[in-house]
Every structure is written in C-alpha cells, then in structure tokens.
Amino acid sequence: MVKLFQAADATDLVTELRRSFDAGVTRGYEWRVAQLKKLLLICDNHESEIVSALHDDLGKPELESSVYEVALLRNSINLALKQLKDWMAPDKAKTSLTTFPASAEIVSEPLGVVLVISAWNYPFLLSIDPVIGAISAGNAVVLKPSELAPASSSLLAKLLEQYLDSSAVRVVEGAVPETTLLLEQKWDKIFYTGSSRIGRIIMMAAAKHLTPVVLELGGKSPVVIDSDTNLKITVKRIIAGKWGCNNGQACISPDYILTTKEFSPKVVDAMKQELEAFYGKNPMESKDMSRIVNSNHFDRLSKMLEENEVSDKIVYGGQKNRDKLKIAPTILVDVPLDSQIMSEEIFGPLLPIITLNNMEEIFDVIRSRPKPLAAYLFTQNQKLKERFAMTVSAGGIVFNDIAVHLAVPTLPFGGVGESGMGSYHGKFSFDAFSHKKAVLYKSFIGDAAIRYPPYSTGKLRLLKALVNSNIVEIFRVLLGLS
Ligand code: NAD
C-alpha cells in the first residue's frame, strides 16, 4: 500500500533539504553541472518511456512529445551547461563618488530550498524546465507534478529519484491535500505553473512566510489577422499552434481570433481547407492530435459549446466523443463577447472568430480584457506591427507565428497582470532562483572626516555635493568659495 504523505513528512522533507543546502551541498559549480548532466541522461535514456507516459496521459502524438517536451528540455539543459560559469560569475558594478575609493559587484546567490508546482499539459517540460533553473542557481528543490497527468508524474518521480542527488532534489506526487501540506512549509521560492484561480491560493500561502513567487499562469491569448497577410501560411501556423500543440491545451495557444468582418469569410474558408489537409475529412480519427485530458475538462468544454447563442455559431467541427475524450477542431464565428467561451480561457480545441469593423475596434477588445500570456498579430504592415507592440500589453507577443517565442532562450517567458508574474527560460531561469546580492568592497584608505560629527555647514555642503556627484560644487566648497 502507498504510504500517505502527511504533515510530518512535509516538515521532515524541508528540514532534510535545508540541512543539505546549509551544508553547502548544492552550492558548488560541480554539483550543479553533475545534476544537469543527469537530467540530460534522463532525456537520452528514457525518451521512449516519456513519449509513452505522455501518450497514456494525453494521447499526445510522438512528434509533439519528442520535440516540444524532450528536445526543448535538452536545449534548456545544454544551454545551462554551456553558460553556467558565466551566469554564476559576479557582475562588476560601478561605484560613485560617495563611496570613493571602493569597488562593487553583484553576486548571484542561491535562495535556498524551493518548491516547483507544475501543470498537466506539458508535464515533463513544465516540471523539469524550472528545476533546471533551480539547480543551476544552486538551490535544493522539491517538485510537485500535476496529479492530472499520473503516468508522467510517476515517471518523473521514478527517474528523478534514480538519477539525481536525493539529498537535495525530491519529487512529491499528489493532489490538493499533498500540495496544501507542502504549501504550509517555509520555502525560499515557490514556482507555480497552472491556473490563475489556484495561483491566488499559492500566493496567499506564500505570503504567510513572505516567500517570493513566480506564477506562470494562462489566460485568453488573442490572434489578430490583418487582411494584409499571407493567408495560407497564417492559417497553417495558427492550426499548428492550436491543434498541433496538445490540441489547444497549451497556455499560449490561440484562444480566439480577431479579424475584420470583410476579411473573415476568407479566413474561415482557408481554415477549413488547411484543417482538412492536416487532419483529414474525419479529424476525430486523426492520430496527430492529443485527446482532452479527462472527463471534467471534456464536460467543461462541452458546456462552453452548448451555451445559448454559441452552439448555433459553429461553422466547422463540433463533433464530440466523451468515451474517447475527443472533440474535433471546432470553429465558431461571432459568439457573444460575454459568453462563457469568450470570458474564460478555452484550453481546448474550440476556436471562436470575432469579427469587427476595423483594427481600432480590434485593439480595443484586446485592451479592454485582462492582460493575456501571449498576443499574436499576422500582418505585413510595419506600422500596424509597431502599434501592436507599443499598445498591447501581454506576457509576450509574436508577429506572424504562434508560440515560437517559447523556444527562444534569450527571451523571458512569463505573464503580466492576470497571466502571471516573474519569468524564466535561459538565464532568466537562473535569475528567477537567485538572489542578486549587492557587495561593496571598501578599504581603510580615504577616511574622510566630513562624515563624522561634530557636523558643520561646511561638512553639510560638501556631503551634499558628494552625494549629488557635483564636482564643481565639491571644488567650490574645498576652495572655500561656496
Ligand atoms: P491547476 O491550477 O488545476 O493545477 C496546477 C497545479 O496546481 C497542480 O500541480 C495541482 O496539483 C495544483 N493544485 C490544484 N489545486 C490546488 C489547490 N487547491 N491548492 C494547491 N495546489 C493545487 O492548473 P492546470 O489545470 O494543471 O493547468 C491549466 C492552467 O495552467 C491554464 O490556465 C494554463 O494556461 C496554465 N498554464 C500556464 C503555463 C505557463 O507556462 N504560463 C503553462 C501551462 C499551463
């Protein structure tokens, strides 16, 4: 029988990991590199098991699992291995006249014992990618994968235990009760990926211990299609970014399309044509699409689709099979803006298209809604791109493609407002798990009497001039001219 994870287990776990951290186990460059290399070995030796777990949990096609989970992780680990020395090196900082003579640097120090809570939709990528950051930055870490992807969760627990240093890296499997026990502990950072509803619970638990958080949340990511676009490529990329990424169950998946009334019939026709080319006449039979994760999510999506004034707006798809947890790619045109499908994150294979009179109205719809994790614009119009970049607030924006910014490690990945706080990927992951410690080096040379009592008007003037770095005034005071 599996032993229940209880309050004392959570306390013991953190105590044990803190002991390792305090003993310096995780601090050295060699330890960090050794753990990262082990993560690489997991990717190399167990890719087929990972692919099979993802198939069990989500019916994820092999290509998506191998590329969007394992290959992206390999990239992330290799980058960390290549750049870790640079990341760990202190950054020289300039000093000012006030502290002259002195030198200064910014030291990246590990935070301590951190908790990573991840989601079910990309269970390997979203679990291991933050762990790469935590280890690179020299922390001890506990990972809590999502219970909604149980095959992936148990494989993660098995492999991390088998390969990594268990005195400093652990996996706790479980659902709400286990996570609640973990959240009662004092962590030095909590990195959470999931919905904004649970994000609020995480932040409240963190506040009790003044624990900083990274919240990688979701939201409704809009896609704007301008008429000045290459429509064939536009539509192919939208399909690949929606149904070709875990069947719309992705945080930066296109949630809805905005285009003009005039252009929308062309968009709909092109979508139908390319969808059929990708998934055939009967997409319910396609092996190239994930299924819906579970019956709760299937019912949630069905409810969205069956709402009044929504069900009659389907122009393509709409087929469902609850036993197989399959919903066909479904396009709807001009559903009400206050319907459930336009108010909540869809996170599935439904795609509403909203048509408006012009770009001004389109921009207004985006700006009147909570800030999304991603916003996309397809256009060849440079001026429009500039306006979009300057006026639309989102975690990230991409022109003429979907989701690809996620694979650029020099770009921070994270949300703003309702879509989250903090970011990671590449060096941003290292920074997310580091404290930037200010270190100032002074010697005993140049001990100026003006900073010590008894105070005088002359000292006051000189100190003010020094603090303001006003060289002219310093000379005037020193020469008795002020
Ligand atoms: P979720 O919030 O249901 O679950 C995520 C994690 O939270 C799981 O590990 C789960 O065990 C834990 N959890 C659930 N209920 C909890 C509770 N009451 N107390 C403490 N912990 C609890 O999210 P999800 O359904 O797994 O993921 C979907 C959401 O995540 C979507 O909104 C999506 O956009 C977002 N997401 C964001 C990113 C990103 O990188 N920004 C990536 C993937 C998913």
Tokens matching residue 432? 């997310």
Confidence of residue 148 (pLDDT cuts 50, 70, 90): very high
Determine the average pLDDT of the residues in 373-383. 98
Determine the average pLDDT of the residues in 376-401. 98
In sequence order, the β-bridge partners of residue 426 are none
Q: Are 189 and 201 in contact (CB under 8 A)?
A: no
Alpha carbon of residue 327 to chain centroid: 27
Identify the active-site residue in 216, 245, 274, 345. Answer: 216
Confidence of residue 480 (pLDDT cuts 50, 70, 90): confident
Substitution site in 118, 126, 179 for ligand 1 pocket (most atoms within 8 Å of beta carbon): 179
* Ordered domains of the chain (ranges, CATH): 7-217+425-436 (3.40.605.10), 222-413 (3.40.309.10)
CA angle, residues 103, 109, 112, in degrees to nearest 5? 155
User: Can you list the alpha helix ranges (DSSP code H) found in 231-381?
Assistant: 231-242, 264-279, 295-306, 340-343, 359-367
Query: What's the pTM value of the predicted model, to 2 decimals?
Result: 0.96
**Percentage of the chain exceeding pLDDT 70:** 99
Q: Is the CB of 194 under 6 A from ligand 1?
A: yes
The pLDDT score that the predictor gives to residue 470 is 84
pLDDT tens digits, 405-421: 999 999 999 999 999 99
Q: Are 431 and 108 in contact (CB under 8 A)?
A: yes
Please indicate whether residue 216 is annotated as part of the active site: yes
Rounded Cα distance, 475 and 470, in Å: 9
pLDDT tens digits, 439-464: 999 999 988 888 899 999 988 988 88
Confidence of residue 1 (pLDDT cuts 50, 70, 90): low
pLDDT tens digits, 226-262: 999 999 999 999 999 999 999 999 999 999 999 999 9
Rounded Cα distance, 219 and 371, in Å: 8
Q: Is the CB of 144 under 6 A from ligand 1?
A: yes
Q: Is the CB of 68 under 6 A from ligand 1?
A: no
State the average pLDDT for the chain: 96
